[in-house]
């Protein structure tokens, strides 16, 4: 860049990038200049767009770092190559960014949503979420505990000592509505409350792509299934090389969305994903070896919650959050347990419930 251009153009780097977005991205992409803005007024960065800032704020927050020690499917697996909640999040981000670039959507908003979509997950994966939800429902909370709602609580009210990350509306919307649970893929894509942006809807699908493929690979590694057990409906060449499942899904997403002019999947792809999900439910998610630790997880989650709830001294020592009423105190306890990693939850449980030998010095 010559010096004349460098000194003559007084637009900031952010403004130049925003102008490029308006010129290059497709009409239904979310442009940074069209964002509804943050929860609270914040001085714009001279270098990064609002969504680039969101991505960095999520990447550097404590809740994101804790994902590396949170369960994806296998609780405390014996091996270094199984997915954790962090590696799953990074894989969702990579899938979503690839499609976002190909479709000329806002790559930075896509990545911000992907990085933040699971930061509200509790320890021990879906088992931990199920039992925390039961606890909160039993205490009259509606909803009880949902990881997507908890992710929004983290970015709005918990991080930065209660100040939150002050993210853009579109980022928070994409995080909140990224999931519809384990329903059929068809209902998860086309029904319920969808994200308000194409980028959010893309992450919603990329999340499903990531766990469907990765859970097959991890299940093969765990010897819960073999290549020969993958149904023939997935084609013989997919049985020989399961990584092609992900390639096939991404290719079809990009092609179908490009032709339709919006994020969408063909009926054939949706049926393929629903069948794959049903196969995983039958052979992996409900496998006795996967679920054998659920009773212990339930005991741990319930015991910690009840101990903090009934013992004010322990609440003050561990949770350390002020509360105006009992409902607020219960929510604080839920937030505290949900934020734990698997290892930390086990450590606190052992400290509070497992007797140690007496030592005399």
Q: Domains, the chain, ranges and CATH? A: 12-39+48-123+147-289 (1.10.3210.10)
Model confidence pLDDT, tens digit, residues 71-82: 887 776 666 777
Q: In this predicted structure, what is the pLDDT of residue 212?
A: 87
Other beta carbons within 10 Å of 298: 17
Neighbours of 346 (CB within 10 A): 17
Please give the pLDDT value at position 323: 93
**CA separation for the pair 145, 130 (Å, rounded):** 8
Look at residue 333 and tell me whether its pLDDT is greater than 50: yes
Q: Reply yes or no on whether the pLDDT at 104 is more than 50.
A: yes
Range of lowest pLDDT (139-143, 223-227, 256-260, 311-315): 223-227
Q: What was the pLDDT predicted at 292?
A: 87
Mean pLDDT of 48-56: 98
Question: Which percentage of the chain shows pLDDT scores above 70?
Answer: 88
Q: In degrees to the nearest 10, what's the CA dihedral of 289, 291, 297, 301?
A: 160
Comparison of pLDDT for 60 and 276, the residue scoring more? 60
Ramachandran bin of 183, using left for φ above 0, alpha for ψ from -120 to 50, beta for the remaining angles = beta
Please determine, for residue 52, whether its predicted confidence score (pLDDT) is greater than 50: yes
Q: Given this model, what pLDDT does residue 286 score? A: 85
Closest CA to 263 of 201, 203, 207, 209: 201
pLDDT tens digits along 22-35: 999 999 999 999 99
Q: Is-contact 145 334, C-beta < 8 A?
A: yes
Confidence of residue 309 (pLDDT cuts 50, 70, 90): very high
pLDDT given for residue 264 in this prediction? 94
pLDDT tens digits along 114-123 = 999 999 999 9
**What's the pLDDT tens digit per position in 235-250?**
555 665 667 788 888 9
Please name which of 294, 277, 111 lies closest in space to residue 206, comparing C-alpha atoms: 111
Question: What backbone phi and psi angles, to 5 degrees, belong to 160?
Answer: 55, 45
Which conformational region is residue 235 in: left (phi greater than 0), alpha (psi within -120 to 50 degrees), or beta?
left
pLDDT score, position 7: 45
Q: How far is CA 106 from CA 26, 82, 243, 250, 324, in A?
A: 9, 31, 27, 17, 41
């Amino acid at each position: 860049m010559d010096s004349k251009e460098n000194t003559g153009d007084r637009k900031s780097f952010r403004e130049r990038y925003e102008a490029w977005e308006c010129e290059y991205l497709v009409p239904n992409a979310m442009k940074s200049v069209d964002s509804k803005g943050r929860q609270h007024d914040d001085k714009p960065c001279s270098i990064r767009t609002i969504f680039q800032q969101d991505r960095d704020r999520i990447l550097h927050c404590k809740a994101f770092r804790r994902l590396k020690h949170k369960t994806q499917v296998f609780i405390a697996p014996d091996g270094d190559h199984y997915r954790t909640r962090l590696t799953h999040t990074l894989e969702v981000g990579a899938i979503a960014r690839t499609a976002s670039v190909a479709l000329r959507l806002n790559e930075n908003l896509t990545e911000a949503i992907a990085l933040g979509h699971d930061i509200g997950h509790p320890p021990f994966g879906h088992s931990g979420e199920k039992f925390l939800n039961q606890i909160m429902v039993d205490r009259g909370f509606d909803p009880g505990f949902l990881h997507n709602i908890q992710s929004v609580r983290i970015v709005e009210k918990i991080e930065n000592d209660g100040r939150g990350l002050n993210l853009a509306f579109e980022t928070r919307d994409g995080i909140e509505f990224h999931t519809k649970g384990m329903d059929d893929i068809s209902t998860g894509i086309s029904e319920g409350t969808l994200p308000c942006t194409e980028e959010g809807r893309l992450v919603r699908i990329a999340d499903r792509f990531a766990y469907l493929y990765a859970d097959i690979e991890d299940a093969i590694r765990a010897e819960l299934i073999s290549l020969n057990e993958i149904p023939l409906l997935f084609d013989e060449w997919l049985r020989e090389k399961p990584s092609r499942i992900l390639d096939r899904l991404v290719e079809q997403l990009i092609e179908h969305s490009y032709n339709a002019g919006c994020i969408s999947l063909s009926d054939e792809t949706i049926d393929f994903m629903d069948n794959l999900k049903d196969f995983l439910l039958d052979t992996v998610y409900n496998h006795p070896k996967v679920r054998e630790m659920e009773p212990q997880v339930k005991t741990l989650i319930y015991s910690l919650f009840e101990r903090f709830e009934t013992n004010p001294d322990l609440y003050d020592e561990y949770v350390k959050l002020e509360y105006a009423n009992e409902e607020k105190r219960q929510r604080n306890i839920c937030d505290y347990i949900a934020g734990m990693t698997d290892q930390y939850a086990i450590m606190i449980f052992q400290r509070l419930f497992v007797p140690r030998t007496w030592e005399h010095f």
